[in-house]
Amino acid sequence: MNTRNKDIPCLITIFGATGDLSHRKLFPSLFHLYQQENLNEHIAIIGIGRRDLTNDDFRNQVKSSIQEHVKDTKHLDKFITHIFYHKLDVTNKANYESLLEVSERLDQQFQLQGNRLFYLAMAPKFFGVISDCLKSAELTNTKGFKRLVIEKPFGSDLESAKVLNDQLRKSFSEEEIYRIDHYLGKDMVQNIEVLRFANAMFEPLWNNKYISNIQVTSSEKLGVEERGGYYDSNGALKDMVQNHMLQMVALLAMEPPISLNSEDIRAEKVKALKSLRMFENDKVRHNFVRGQYDASEIEGQPVQGYRDEDRVDNQSNTPTFVAGKLTIDNFRWAGVPFYIRTGKRMTSKTIQVVVEFKEVPMNLYYETDKKLDSNLLVINIQPNEGVSLHLNAKRNIQGIDTEPVQLSYAMSAQDKMNTVDAYENLLFDCLNGDATNFTHWEELKSTWKFVDAIQEEWDQHEPEFPNYKAGTNGPLESDLLLSKDGYHWWDGIN
């Protein structure tokens, strides 16, 4: 992690500036950075869209999105004067000349020192062509820094990811490409490293001698909403496991880095990902469970099944749920299962890590014949950000009964006020040239390889979908995955 600089002049060009991501996340985050003085006056933002809009039309739209998403709008009018609209058909090379002109003009006007950040908040099919056009129109030929920020999905398998990567690399070096995984911008995901490496009490226990299993869950109550078209050709494995879930596993499993430099952290993450055991053939069936939700009720309201969702094939075999048992083949983790689970239309919106410790070598408190509860370290990533440690303590004065007790730390509202969203952290990192919380190509290679092997096996066998009711925690096989090892999902724990 580099030193943070709040005074970085930059021209930020957002492709897809009239889209949902820009309005819900990017503009509110940029505004909040500005309001908190993490951006200064040497900043200009060009919003690119296809529609005919004037600067004023666009500024008004941005203003209302910010008002909707940020409570305190002090300095909003001043911030808005840094925003400009530019109409462009992103596939038409000739159009980029006018973008170059505007960019150069704004560079002079705001004294941006030639620093350029291009944010592609668009469908992946445009990533390659935009990056080619930026180069051919010489927008990448600048005296300051140039950086490309791209959203996921980065390819749909290793092969397509390679093709895309090769195309981007014609215009940007690996160091200039910032691949967003918004989970890496979440405060509590960033806290995994801090908890592990800034506390003397965890790292000595962080291995197969003391930990019995680790569970990583990201469950959602929502269905696919209006994203049926995208989702149906991806599914939970590609949408969540290939990126967010495996990134969290890498942070939990990696060795301590020699420094907080992004290269050092990344080297350890890549090593951890490379140690993931690859599953093939029937090993996939034994270690992975896929599911798809059926119609049911959530909180008394009827919800439709996945196959009836808008823009979803009514015979679709796309999984909306995945659970898996991951094995990390290295000295630290041999024998410790990492269970992962993610799905839509589950009981709650929860992102959580549960580290379950092994039993004490001998239970002295056997009087009631009751097994001692496992010690747990629970990292709550969302919604109630915080950490808790579950211990056993004495229940009453006379007896020797034990009861589980909990030491908890909850991130205060005050802490949370400092950022509006993970995107704010990531944009600030990117302006600072800090790639720690972005996905490197080496990480992508490992995660796609792992996911491709599972997908290949799944493609051979038709699943019996739908197989879980909306509003439940997935198919029964997900529970069996753990119970056959003598464990269970720690649902509802905080």
* Window 299 to 358, contacts with ligand BG6 (CB under 6 A): 351
**H-run or E-run covering 391:** strand 386-394
440: annotated active-site residue: no
One DSSP character per residue, 226-280 reads: GGHHHHHTTHHIIIIIIIIIHHHHHHHHPPPPSSSSHHHHHHHHHHHHHTBPP--
How many chain residues interact with ligand BG6 (CB under 6 A)? 4
Query: For 39, phi and psi rounded to 5 degrees?
Result: -125, 145
Tell me whether residue 239 is annotated as binding.
yes
The response to whether 50 counts as a known ligand-binding position is yes
Nearer to ligand BG6, 107 or 151 (CB): 151
| Sequence-ordered list of residues with C-beta below 8 angstroms from that of 376, at least 6 positions apart, any chain | 354, 355, 356, 357, 388, 389, 390, 490, 493
Query: Taking CB under 6 A as the rule, does residue 447 contact ligand BG6?
Result: no
Closer Cβ to ligand BG6, 325 or 345, answer by number? 345
Rg, Å, the chain Cα set:
24
Name residues contacting ligand BG6, limited to 455-494 (CB under 6 A): none
C-alpha count within 13 angstroms, C-beta hemisphere, residue 468: 25
**227 belongs to an annotated ligand binding site:** no
As measured in angstroms, the least distance from the Cβ of 191 to ligand BG6 is 15
Nearer to ligand BG6, 219 or 374 (CB): 219
Nearer to ligand BG6, 157 or 255 (CB): 157
90 annotated binding-site participant: yes
Burial bucket for residue 110 (CB in 10 Å: 0-12, 13-18, 19+): middle
For residues 84 and 44, is the Cβ–Cβ distance under 8 A? yes
The token pair at 166 is 């090769």
Q: How far is it, in rounded angstroms, from Cα 180 to Cα 25?
A: 13
Nearest residue to the partner ligand BG6, using Cβ: 239
Alpha-carbon span 460 to 210, nearest angstrom: 39
In angstroms, give the least distance from the CB of 333 to ligand BG6.
Answer: 25
Choosing from 244, 286, 461, 488, the catalytic residue is: 244
Ramachandran assignment for 380, one of left (phi > 0), alpha (psi -120 to 50 degrees), beta (any other): beta
Can you read off the two tokens belonging to residue 280?
């093939």
Cα torsion angle, 322, 325, 329, 330, sign = positive
Q: Is 263 annotated as a binding residue?
A: no
Nearest distance from residue 230's CB to ligand BG6, in Å?
8
Say if residue 63 carries a ligand binding annotation: no
Q: Which residues contact 256 (CB under 8 A, 6 or more apart)?
A: 196, 197, 203, 268
| Annotated binding residue 349 | yes
Q: Which is nearer to ligand BG6, 124 or 433 (CB)?
A: 124
Nearest-approach distance from CB 314 to ligand BG6, in angstroms? 20
Q: At residue 447, what is the residue type?
A: T
Q: 87 among the known binding-site residues?
A: no
- Is 239 a binding residue for ligand BG6 by CB under 6 A? The answer is yes
User: Is residue 120 helix, strand or coil?
Assistant: strand
Cα distance between the two ends of the chain? 30
Distance CA 32, CA 76 (A): 9
At closest approach, how far in Å is the CB of 6 from ligand BG6?
Answer: 26
The footprint of ligand BG6 on residues 349-408 (CB under 6 A) is: 351
* Residue among 212 and 218 whose Cβ is closer to ligand BG6: 218
Quick one: 178 or 487, whose CB is closer to ligand BG6? 178
By CB under 6 A, tell whether 220 contacts ligand BG6: yes
Shortest reach from residue 349's CB to ligand BG6, in Å = 7
Q: Is 394 annotated as a binding residue?
A: no
Beta carbon of residue 246, minimum distance to ligand BG6 (angstroms, whole number): 13
Q: Which residues pair with 355 in a beta bridge?
A: 214, 377
Q: Which residues contribute to the annotated binding site for NADP(+)?
A: 50, 89-90, 152
Return binding residues. 50, 89-90, 152, 182, 186, 220, 239, 344, 349
Give me the active site residues, please. Answer: 244
* Residues binding ligand BG6 (CB under 6 A): 218, 220, 239, 351
Binding residues for substrate: 182, 186, 220, 239, 344, 349
